Amino acid sequence: MPFEWEEPGRNIRRRAFRTLIIIGDSNGPFKWPFAAGYNPTPGFDIFEVCSTAADRAALARIADEMSETSKDRKRLWVISELYYPEMTSTGYYLTLIAEGLADRFEVKAISGQPNYSARGTRAAKHEWRNGVEIFRAAGTTLDKNVIVFRVTNMVTLGLSVLIRSWRQFRAGDKVLVVTNPPLMPFVAAIAALARGASYTLLVHDNYPEILVAAGKIRESSFTAKAFSFLNRWLYKHAAGIVVVGRDMAELMERKTAGLSIPIENIPNWAELETVSPRPRDENSLLAELGLSGKFVLLYAGNMGPPNDVETIIEVAEQLRAEPKVHFVFLGAGAKRPWIEREIGERGLDNVTVLDPRPRSDQPLFLNACDVALVSLIDKMLGVSGPEPDIQYSCRRQTDHRALRSRIGGRAGDRG
């Protein structure tokens, strides 16, 4: 809520201060600090005013009213490894969720430096964007496709987020934390409980199930059992849990049995404002690839361990004799080198692999196909939402309203 002050005949100058009104007259400067706990929103302008005592009193009354209004806006912390300018998958959704909630909450985000599509970009450690105050914690940004480096990134960022959260959370704050990487929700939970805040889990990936499905650990292993034990503690103290699909809701009901934790199914939205069907003969990507006259099957998104790209390659090999059928992979991930190696070894000239494209290109590449493929490996039912950039879900407004209800309603009243 920007504060605008205009009065004809007065000498008013905008200043760069955020937490102090400075009023000067012949008797010297008069400093009026905002009420304790008040934190202005981005764009809030503080003024230096050459005025009388009456003007000082009027300005103080206005600021008092603003301070009282601000008390109704609870602080909401959004904790996510990925955030703007990282605008793929989790980073995209968490950024827009935070900004969509800024009209009701005083929203602050804690994230790491870009390490996916925007890797190499060095974002500001502290900045404002669309009503959200962003803090970027320190941490390594090694190649996430190498497991040792990925774990290193997770641990270093987790420790940094823990320190910042512990210092900045306060009693009554609300916290929304996404469940990947797996250390992040525990970091947020520890800081929230220690500081008297409440936290809500936004489940994108379920652990240890995703590791079991990917063959990284056995279901009967000590690691899997440890995850399950720690998860019960995490769920027990949560104000609420948000999942992104029907099957995931059923899985979470089983995992939280006996804990009476509210679970809300709020699917990710489709970008109806920008992505819509467009004439095939106008698609420049198909023309560039020489595929305008072919039947195209597109896999767009992450190519990681949970994604069943192996089956797609097998089908492509079976259909190699069909000159009118072509497969396109667009994206990156741990399995991309395997895909490229198999294409070469099997001589699959009916498969094309493209580098990731910016989200702004979605209207182009999502229309560059006849069939869009979303493929997950076995045992992934309800474990994770599909990563490819093809979302079949509700509109953004519905998502924000449901999240407001979950964070600010029953869920926010717990703990």
The confidence score (pLDDT) of residue 19 equals 38
The pLDDT, as a whole number, for residue 73 is 80
CATH of region 280-373: 3.40.50.2000
* Number of other CB atoms surrounding residue 279 within 10 Å: 7
Topology agreement, domain 75-270+392-413 and domain 280-373: yes
In this predicted structure, what is the pLDDT of residue 394? 30
Pairing label, strands 75-79, 174-178: parallel
Query: What is the CATH number that goes with domain 75-270+392-413?
Result: 3.40.50.2000
Q: Which residues in the chain land under pLDDT 70? A: 1-72, 118, 386-415
Assigned token pair, 28: 């010297």
Q: Which single residue is written with the structure tokens 């007065």?
A: 10
Q: How far apart are CA 188 and CA 197, in angstroms?
A: 10
Asked whether the beta carbons of 193 and 284 are under 8 A apart, the reply is no
Q: Domains of the chain: which residue ranges?
A: 11-70, 75-270+392-413, 280-373
Question: Is 72 exposed, middle or buried (CB count within 10 Å of its CB: 0-12, 13-18, 19+)?
Answer: exposed
| CB 239 within 8 Å of CB 412 | yes
pLDDT at 116: 76
- Beta bridge partners, 376, equal 307
| C-alpha span between 4 and 1 (Å, rounded) | 9
Cβ–Cβ under 8 Å, residues 217 and 223: yes
Task: Give the pLDDT of residue 173.
Answer: 96
Q: What is the dihedral angle through the alpha carbons of 98, 102, 104, 107, rounded to the nearest 10 degrees?
A: 70
CA pseudo-torsion sign 143, 146, 150, 156: negative
Q: What is the pLDDT of residue 122?
A: 87
Tens digit of pLDDT for each residue in 165-218? Answer: 999 999 999 999 999 999 999 999 999 999 999 999 999 999 999 999 999 999
Q: Is the dihedral of CA 358, 362, 363, 365 positive or negative?
A: positive
Read off the pTM: 0.75
**What pLDDT is attached to residue 8?**
44
